[in-house]
Amino acid sequence: MTYCLNLDCQRDKRQNPPGTKYCLNCGSKLLLKDLYAATEPLRDGGFGRTFRAVNHGKFEELCVIKQLSPPQEFQRKPGHFKKYVRLFEQEARRLYELKHPQIPQLISYFEEDGRLYLVQEFIDGNNLKDELEKYGGYSEIKTRELLLDLLPLLKFVHDRNVIHRDIKPENVIRRARDRKLVLIDFGVSKQVVAEAPSKAGTKLGTPGYAALEQRHGRAVPASDLYSLGVTCIRLLTSVMPYLDIYGDIHDDLYDPLEGRWLWREALPKGIKISPDLGAVLDKLIQEYVKDRYKSAVEVLQALKPPAAVVVSPPQKSQQKTLINNSISTQPVTQNSLVSVPLESEKGIDYSQLEMLLAAKNWQGADRETSAKMLEVMQQMSRGYLTEEDIRKFPIKDLQTIDQLWVRHSHRRFGFSVQKGLWLKLGGKPGVYDVSIWEKFGDRVGWRVNNEWVYYSDLNFTSKALPGHLPGGTVFGWEGGVLCGVLGLGGVWFLLSRRDL
C-alpha cells in the first residue's frame, strides 16, 4: 500500500493500492521527488511524523521518511516554527556528518509542497523498550553488552562535538541482521560550540532520562552518559516513568526528596549485580556533572576486565594439549599472553572486540567480528562478504582479528586455527570440494549428524570444538543456516589467504 502524507487527507482513507501515483481520496501526489513512497506510519512525535517507505530509485530498498509537522499553534507563531524548522534541518545535517554503521545514514533532505522531508536508512529491528516488554528485564551480562556496544558509538559522536540529548530505550534499535545497537533520532542533538561553551542550550530531551544540567539548558557529553546510565537501570528494573490522569510525570525509580535513584531496591528477585558494574552505573547517574564520568572512554576503562596476571614462564615452556570429544588439537603453549596491536588499514576500532574476547563473551565477540569485517569492506547494508571482498580484505585487519581470537582463546578459535584444520583435512587454497567442506563442518562442529546447524545452535562457550568460532554472519547464513556452498561467500575463500 502507498500512504498519503497530506495532513488534510482523512486519516482512515490515506491508504492507496500499490503503484497509485495520486491519492484516491484527496488527489495529492504520493511519490516524493518521484522516488519515495510512504507505506505505513511508524511514529507521530508531535512535531514530526515518521513513515516506513520504499525507495523506488534504489531497487525498492526500504527507507524511512520523516515529515516536519508541528501543531497548528506553533505554525502560527513564527518564532516557534522557525525553531523547529532549524531543529529538523539540524537533524539532516547531523545524519550527513555522522557516518557510522550504528547511526542511520541520510539518503535525502528536501522541501516539497511547502513541507520539509528527511529520508534516511531503514533499520530493521525492535527498539529496546519493545524488547523489554517482549522478553523482560535485563541481566548483568546484557547490561554490560549494551554499554560495550553503545559507549564506542558515543565516543564517536562526542569526538565530533555532537551531543545526542535524547538517549532512551525507544531511541536504541537492535538491528535484526547483526544484533548491533543503532542509535536513532538525532532531531534534538546539539552541536557543541567551542567559542561559547557556557552558552545555554535548548531544554530538550525526555523527562525521566534528561540530566539536571540538560533540564537547565546546558547539555554536555556527560549528559548523554547520564541518559545511558538511566536507560540501563530502567532495562534492569523494567520501571519506566509514566503520566498520571492530570498529565504529570511520575517515576517510581527516583526519590526526589532524597535526590537518589532506587534502582537496587527495584531489581527483580534473583537478579544480582556485581559491585563493579553497580559502581559504574551509580557514577553514570550522579546528579551533578562533577561526580560523573566525563567521557565514554572513562566508562569503557572502568568496565574493562582486569589485565591477566603475567607469570614468568620456566626456561622450558610447558605444553598442554587440549582434548575435546576425543579430537586432538595442536599443543597450546602456556606462555604469558602477548598483547595484540590493534592495527587497521581502514581506521577501524577493534577495542570493543578485544574487550568482549577478554571477557570470554564469545557470542558477543562473534557478532562484533562480523560487524567489523562488514565495516572494513563497507558492506553493512548487504550483510555478508563475497569472494571478491574476502580476497581484497586488508592484511592488517585480518591479522588483527585473527590474533585477538587466537590470543584470548589460547589458540582454540580463530581463522588461522580453522585454516590449519582445513589444510589437515586435505583442503586446497581457493578450491571448493564438497566432501572436504562437509568434513570441515563436522570437524569444527558446524555439522551435526550430517546436517548443517543453525547459527542460533552454535556453541558459544570455551568448550566448543577447536575452530568452531568465529562463525558469524559475515560468511552468509541464509535462514540461519551457513550457506557458503550457495556462493554467498565461502569459508574456503578466507582459508585460502596466504597471510593467515
Domains and CATH numbers, the chain: 2-121 (3.30.200.20), 125-303 (1.10.510.10), 350-494 (no CATH)
Gyration radius (Cα) of the chain, Å: 26
pTM of the model: 0.60
425-469 pLDDT, tens per residue?
A: 888 766 767 788 888 888 988 888 888 777 777 888 988 999 999
pLDDT band at 90 (very low <50, low <70, confident <90, very high): confident
The helix or strand, by DSSP H or E, that contains position 117, with its residue range, turns out to be strand 115-121
Average pLDDT over residues 2-28: 91
- Residue 160 clears pLDDT 60, i.e. is over it: yes
Residue type, 60: E
Q: What is the maximum span of the chain, computed from C-alpha positions, in angstroms?
A: 86
Q: Residue 10: exposed, middle, or buried by beta-carbon count in 10 A (0-12, 13-18, 19+)? A: exposed
Residue type, 28: S
325-359 pLDDT, tens per residue?
A: 333 333 333 333 456 889 999 999 999 999 899 88
Q: How far apart are CA 425 and CA 436, in angstroms?
A: 7
Q: What percent of the chain has pLDDT over 70?
A: 80
Q: What is the mean pLDDT of the chain?
A: 81
Q: How many CA atoms lie within 13 A of 95 on its CB side?
A: 26
What is the pLDDT, as a whole number, of residue 45? 61
- Dig out the grid coordinates for 141 from the structure: 551480562
Question: What DSSP designation does 387 have?
Answer: H
Query: Do residues 403 and 476 touch, judged by C-beta distance below 8 A?
Result: no
Number of CB atoms found within 10 A of residue 384's CB:
21
Q: What percent of the chain has pLDDT over 90?
A: 41
Q: How far apart are CA 68 and CA 44, in angstroms?
A: 10
Catalytic residues, which ones? Answer: 166
Average pLDDT over residues 179-191: 76
Q: How far apart are CA 450 and CA 446, in angstroms?
A: 10
Q: How far apart are CA 381 and CA 390, in angstroms?
A: 17
CA distances from 420 to 310, 411, 496 (A): 28, 11, 11
Region of poorest pLDDT, from 10-14, 201-205, 308-312? 308-312
- Residue 7 clears pLDDT 90, i.e. is over it: no
Most confident listed range (213-217, 330-334, 468-472): 213-217
Average pLDDT over residues 79-88: 73
Query: Do residues 489 and 474 touch, judged by C-beta distance below 8 A?
Result: yes
Average pLDDT over residues 21-47: 88
Average pLDDT over residues 181-190: 76
Q: How far apart are CA 462 and CA 5, in angstroms?
A: 53
- Residue 200 clears pLDDT 70, i.e. is over it: no
What is the pLDDT, as a whole number, of residue 18? 85
What is the pLDDT, as a whole number, of residue 261? 96
pLDDT greater at residue 485 or residue 364: 364
Contacts of 352 (CB under 8 A, 6+ apart): 148, 149, 152, 368
Q: Is 396 left (phi over 0), alpha (psi -120 to 50) or beta?
A: alpha
What is the pLDDT, as a whole number, of residue 128? 96
pLDDT greater at residue 245 or residue 281: 281
Average pLDDT over residues 27-31: 93
pLDDT band at 68 (very low <50, low <70, confident <90, very high): confident
Nearest to 411 by CA among 344, 353, 296, 332: 332
- Residue 38 clears pLDDT 90, i.e. is over it: yes
